[in-house]
């Protein structure tokens, strides 16, 4: 099902339906500040496994998730004083932060380095969903079987509709990966340059992707 969702003020009806779908174990597609994403409830293992299958993604490669704000993020990751200062300046925004995981994070989302990738996007729709759900939301880029990003609700429905409980239509959304910043090291490392200003960072660079 496709449901239009307004931005920057998404309708309560659309958000309520998205949350209901997630609570039933469904997978949804929704717009973010870096393109459309696929999402499910953070604490539903079966749904997480289904996302791995839909994306043909190695189940040993943890998915990142969305928190509503820095306060909620701090429940799921260990945030140093330095990281907190940087993140407070950058959030909400198109960044994924790699941080040491707390025990609140399901084990299948924790990397071999005991870290986790977390976002607080600068987009009203995912933030409204997480606030209504009352805990974080798994989020991974929405792409077709060929790996090409899906940029609108019609294409998502055509390519992935049979696997989804709901598609929130926020109109066409350009796909540009988030910038990934690793805060598990003494100095932050830019793991991936994507959308978002990183001019304030003087850091080492490392190839790779979370």
Contact 138, 22 (CB under 8 A): no
pLDDT average, residue stretch 84-106: 96
* Helix 124-133, helix 12-23: angle, nearest 10: 60
Q: How far apart are CA 194 and CA 205, in angstroms?
A: 13
d(CA 106, CA 109): 6
Model confidence pLDDT, tens digit, residues 117-133 = 999 999 999 999 999 99
pLDDT at 7: 76
Q: What is the pLDDT of the chain when averaged over all its residues?
A: 92
Q: Report the C-alpha gap between 38 and 23 in whole angstroms.
A: 15
- What is the average pLDDT across 135-164? 94
Contacts of 37 (CB under 8 A, 6+ apart): 29, 30, 31, 126, 139, 140, 141, 142
Question: What number is the average pLDDT over the span 23-43?
Answer: 97
> In percent, how much of the chain has pLDDT > 90?
86
Instruction: Give yes or no for residue 201 having a pLDDT over 90.
Output: no
Bridge partners (DSSP) of residue 101 are: 77
Q: Are 152 and 11 in contact (CB under 8 A)?
A: no
At the topology level, CATH places domain 2-196 in: DHBP synthase (3.90.870)
Identify the bridge partners of residue 138 per DSSP, sorted by sequence position.
40, 65
Q: What per-residue confidence (pLDDT) applies to 145?
A: 81
On whether the CB atoms of residues 175 and 34 are closer than 8 A, the answer is yes
Band (202; pLDDT cuts 50, 70, 90): low
180: Cβ–Cβ under 8 A, 6 or more apart, which residues?
A: 95, 96, 97, 98, 117, 190, 191, 192, 194, 209, 210
Average pLDDT over residues 12-23: 96
**Residue 208 pLDDT greater than 60, yes or no:** no
Query: Given strand 95-100, what is the order of strands in its sheet?
Result: 2-4, 166-169, 28-32, 35-41, 137-141, 64-66, 115-119, 95-100, 179-182, 189-192, 204-205
Segment 38-55, tens digit of pLDDT: 999 999 999 999 999 999
Residue 130's pLDDT is 98
Among the ranges given (20-24, 42-46, 55-59, 68-72), the one the predictor scored with the smallest mean pLDDT? 55-59
My answer on whether omega of the bond before 92 falls inside 30° of 0, hence cis, is: yes
Positive/negative CA dihedral, 201, 205, 209, 210: negative
**What radius of gyration do the chain's Cα atoms show?**
16
pLDDT at 207 over 50: no
């Amino acid at each position: 099902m496709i449901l239009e969702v307004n931005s920057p003020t998404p309708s309560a009806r659309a958000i309520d339906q998205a949350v209901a779908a997630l609570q039933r174990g469904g997978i949804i597609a929704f717009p973010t500040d870096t393109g459309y994403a696929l999402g499910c409830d953070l604490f539903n293992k079966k749904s997480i496994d289904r996302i791995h299958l839909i994306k043909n993604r190695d189940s040993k490669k943890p998915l990142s998730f969305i928190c509503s704000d820095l306060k909620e993020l701090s429940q799921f990751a260990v945030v140093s004083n330095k990281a907190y200062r940087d993140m407070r300046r950058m959030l909400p925004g198109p960044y994924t932060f790699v941080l040491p995981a707390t025990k609140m994070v399901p084990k299948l989302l924790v990397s071999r380095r005991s870290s986790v990738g977390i976002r607080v996007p600068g987009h009203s729709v995912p933030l409204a969903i997480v606030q209504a759900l009352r805990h974080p939301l798994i989020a991974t880029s929405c792409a077709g079987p060929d790996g090409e990003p899906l940029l609108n609700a019609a294409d998502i429905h055509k390519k992935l509709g049979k696997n989804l409980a709901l598609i929130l239509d926020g109109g066409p959304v350009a796909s540009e990966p988030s910038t990934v910043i690793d805060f598990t090291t003494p100095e932050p490392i830019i793991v991936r340059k994507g959308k978002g200003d990183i001019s304030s960072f003087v850091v080492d660079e490392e190839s790779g992707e979370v």
